[in-house]
Amino acid sequence: MLVSATEMLKKAKEGHYAVGQFNINNLEWTKSILQTAQELNSPVILGVSEGAGKYMTGFNTVAAMVKAMDQDLGITVPVALHLDHGTYDGCYKCIKAGFTSIMFDGSHYAIEENIEKTKELVAVAHAMGMSIEAEVGSIGGEEDGVVGMGECADPAECKQIADLGVDMLAAGIGNIHGKYPANWAGLSFETLDAIQQKTGVMPLVLHGGTGIPEDMIKKAISLGVAKINVNTECQLSFQEATRKYIEAGKDLEGKGFDPRKLLAPGCEAIKATVKTKMELFGSVGKA
């Protein structure tokens, strides 16, 4: 069931668990994530970066595929189709394409411009029944060409953006996209605590979910994080399983070259990763 992320995140914040956002790249990714959410009776958010949207030939294709797949698979759990780290133009494209949720990442603008653009997009998204995520303070690392320095957000600025009526707020707290370096300082819970004190019931978003230790994930949820984004970890699981299949020469046996066979171990690996995350985030059975 395609819905905005508003209700599922409100419930998650109240119930002290988090809904996973899993980024999609193609049909196999989408199918694996949707089937796992349904099996575990968990709400889920499908994240689409602008790069992945382009790869899949455009946001219209993505929206049509997700809607049709949701229907054909008989998915009854709440599913939000969400633009990840959207630009101003990208947000309008996804609004037109029929996404149910957008993220406007105005974190690289001065706070005044971030506020102005976010405010405009909140009004448009809400008029369309969509949810909207905003960002303050940048997430470190690189995702699809979006590079961030990883500075911690200013809690006062978080409050300014939260007050615009966004449905969820991403705030940099030392988190990084991609693998964490060995010398990573960890999440700044002091910053997270200060942000939650200022923003109250606002569901907070933790980007860079790949590789964050379990205890940190649990602590972040206890301090108001209600949405956690995972991208790289599904890519690594898929890659590892596919590599094993080919290195074992399975693609050379019988019809092992058939894409439905060749991609199957990778899909199973994505499902296993999504399941582990949903269990850790506490969203199982919460649909």
Where on the chain is the footprint of ligand 13P (CB under 6 A)? 23, 47, 84-85, 143, 177-178, 207-210, 229-233
Nearer to ligand 13P by Cβ, of 237 and 245: the residue is 237
Residue of 20, 37, 29, 27 whose CA lies nearest to 267:
29
> Any catalytic annotation for residue 167?
no
Residue 78 or 172 having the CB closest to ligand 13P: 172
66, 168, 70, 63: which is closest to 125 by C-alpha?
A: 168
End-to-end CA distance of the chain: 11
- Nearest 5°: CA angle at 79, between 192 and 3? 95
* Least distance between ligand 13P and beta carbon 176 (Å): 7
CA atoms within 13 A on the CB side of 76: 5
φ, ψ dihedrals at 84, nearest 5° = -100, 130
CA distance 138 to 214: 23
Phi, psi of 42 (to 5 degrees): -120, 140
Backbone angles phi, psi at 131, to 5 degrees: -95, 160
Give dist(CA 145, CA 159) in Å, integer. 28
Of 220, 252, 276, the residue nearest 18 (C-alpha): 220
Q: At what angle do helices 27-39 and 232-247 cross, to 10 degrees?
A: 110
Q: Residue 109 or 184: which CB sits closer to ligand 13P?
A: 184
CB of 43 to ligand 13P, least distance (A): 17
DSSP letter for 256, please: T
Pick the closer one to ligand 13P by CB: 131 or 245: 131
84, 105, 154, 167: the active-site residue: 84
User: What 8-state DSSP symbol labels residue 46?
Assistant: E
How far, in Å, are 56, 95, 128, 151, 236 from residue 61 at the CA level? 7, 13, 20, 35, 25
Task: Tell me whether residue 22 or residue 245 sits nearer to ligand 13P (CB atom).
Answer: 22
We find the least distance from the C-beta atom of residue 257 to ligand 13P, in angstroms, to be 30
Minimum gap (Å) between residue 261 Cβ and ligand 13P:
28
Q: Give least dist CB 145 to ligand 13P, A.
A: 13
Query: CB 267 → ligand 13P: shortest distance, Å?
Result: 18
Both structure tokens of 143: 């995702």
Nearer to ligand 13P, 203 or 208 (CB): 208
Active site members: 84
